[in-house]
Amino acid sequence: MRTLSLVVAVTLAASGCGMMESKKIDYKSAQKAPTLEVPPDLVAPAADNRYAIPDTQGSGTATLSAYSQERKVAPAGTQTLLPTEDKARIERAGSQRWLVVQATPQQVWPVIKDFWQENGFIINLESPETGVLETDWAENRAKIPQDAIRRTLGKVIDGLYSTPERDKFRTRIEQGKDGTEIYISHRGMMEVYTTEGKDKTMWQPRPTDPELEAEMLRRLMLRFGVEKARADTLLAKQQTPEQARIVKDSGAPALEMDEGFDRAWRRVGLALDRVGFAVEDRDRSKGVYFVRYIDPEADNASKRDEGLLAKFAFWKSKQPKTTPQVQIVVAEAGDKSRVTVGGGADAGTQTRIVNLLYKELK
């Protein structure tokens, strides 16, 4: 009976599954809203000839080509009603990229939230006050090897297959001078064996993937109305020089950047997201980020499978260990910028944070 039940279940599942194209990015799809249907009792509007193409040159016949030709020459001094401009553009500095959208943060926020949900992510953190939205860990199904067995059984019991990698993304928005700035940062974890017998594993951080961030920015640009060809062009690699170095500031380590405050502020914020700092608040007028370090082990605890009994152990705290808040200060220094660590951080903490930022900004 068990065998028969399995065969029936497999047959029903196979009948409902279709061919899935292999994509570079293929996270689990979220539920989408149903398509809009026209009510059956809706009456079509009556025809109106107010917008008919008028007679041209008294010929008695009106054609679209003649109508268009007549209006090619615009009167002197007239301008286009809505001039063509990019709805969104990419700013780039080395491996860092961010999006600038011609819209307000209030208009951008729901679009970003829908974007992540439609790409198969669960929203884990949503903070409109600080402009931060973070997804939960998700698996890129496109990385599963497509061998003969996978193609045969994967269509029926797709859950049997998984990859040893998980991704999550943080989106941060800021109001800029030319629109709303959108920053997307990636964090990754990898499952590795901890014993020679390969009977126990653990999750550990893996390097950020700038190209994965760029792909998400490209897809988000499409949501804001940028054509695919134009989005690909904007994301094309550019040789952008960038320089940063570690210096001493009153005996403490600091980071000197060869760029003005505005650009340094943006890049430092994105670097903080990448290296695992939660930006809890910021004061751009003073050049201060208020941040707290996120422990990778605590951050990854949400995706562990601790077993059935562990789920009933309600007395165990699920809250990650808190770490002291520190301040990352970006200050203008002539035509350069200087980044220091404050907020009561000790010398060891200052050195570690400056070194982490240097790896992202050098």
pLDDT tens-digit series, residues 325-342: 899 999 999 889 999 998
On whether both 104 and 173 belong to a single domain, the answer is yes
pLDDT attached to residue 208? 86
Q: Which two tokens stand for residue 76?
A: 């002197």
Mean pLDDT of the chain: 74
CA distances from 133 to 29, 185, 220, 277, 340 (A): 19, 11, 14, 14, 26
pLDDT attached to residue 331? 95
pLDDT attached to residue 142? 75
Tens-digit pLDDT profile for residues 198-230: 888 898 988 888 888 989 999 999 999 888 888
**Strands in 258-311 per DSSP E:** 277-283, 288-293
On whether both 295 and 314 belong to a single domain, the answer is yes
H-helix or E-strand spanning residue 266: helix 261-275
Contact 242, 361 (CB under 8 A): yes
Percent of the chain that is helix, strand, coil (3-state, to 5): 30, 25, 45
On whether both 230 and 294 belong to a single domain, the answer is no
pLDDT attached to residue 163? 79
> Looking at the domain assignment, is residue 102 inside a domain?
yes
Of 152-161, 168-177, 234-243, the range with the lowest mean pLDDT is 152-161
Q: Which two tokens stand for residue 172?
A: 């941060």
> Looking at the domain assignment, is residue 301 inside a domain?
yes
On whether both 234 and 88 belong to a single domain, the answer is yes
CA distances from 196 to 47, 193, 199, 361 (A): 78, 8, 8, 38
The rounded percent of the chain whose pLDDT value lies above 70 is: 62
pLDDT attached to residue 178? 83
pLDDT of 307 strictly over 50: no
Range of the domain at 307: 241-362
Average pLDDT value for residue range 75-98: 64
311 three-class SS: helix
On whether both 281 and 143 belong to a single domain, the answer is no
Spatial distance between the Cα atoms of 181 and 104, rounded to a whole number of angstroms: 10
Q: Of 240, 266, 300, which one is at a domain's C-terminal end?
A: 240
On whether both 279 and 307 belong to a single domain, the answer is yes
pLDDT attached to residue 158? 53
> Looking at the domain assignment, is residue 181 inside a domain?
yes
- Cβ neighbours around 293 below 10 Å, total: 19
> Looking at the domain assignment, is residue 267 inside a domain?
yes
Q: Of 210, 240, 270, which one is at a domain's C-terminal end?
A: 240
How many folded domains does the chain comprise?
2
Tens-digit pLDDT profile for residues 155-165: 555 555 577 88
Residue 269 belongs to domain with CATH number: 3.30.310.170
Q: Of 205, 240, 275, which one is at a domain's C-terminal end?
A: 240
> Looking at the domain assignment, is residue 55 inside a domain?
no
On whether both 259 and 307 belong to a single domain, the answer is yes
On whether both 311 and 358 belong to a single domain, the answer is yes
**Strands in 54-122 per DSSP E:** 88-93, 96-101
Query: What is the DSSP pairing of strand 123-127 with strand 132-135?
Result: antiparallel
pLDDT attached to residue 85? 53
Spatial distance between the Cα atoms of 237 and 218, rounded to a whole number of angstroms: 13
Spatial distance between the Cα atoms of 228 and 218, rounded to a whole number of angstroms: 8
Higher pLDDT, 30 or 151: 151
Average pLDDT value for residue range 50-75: 50
On whether both 137 and 175 belong to a single domain, the answer is yes
Give bridge partners of residue 96 from the DSSP assignment. 93
pTM exceeds 0.85? no
Confidence of residue 241 (pLDDT cuts 50, 70, 90): low
Higher pLDDT, 67 or 93: 93
Confidence of residue 113 (pLDDT cuts 50, 70, 90): very high
- Cβ neighbours around 274 below 10 Å, total: 23
On whether both 198 and 316 belong to a single domain, the answer is no
pLDDT of 34 strictly over 70: no
> Looking at the domain assignment, is residue 63 inside a domain?
no
Residue 198's identity, in one-letter code, is K
On whether both 219 and 275 belong to a single domain, the answer is no
> Looking at the domain assignment, is residue 17 inside a domain?
no
On whether both 342 and 205 belong to a single domain, the answer is no
> Looking at the domain assignment, is residue 170 inside a domain?
yes
pLDDT attached to residue 288? 95
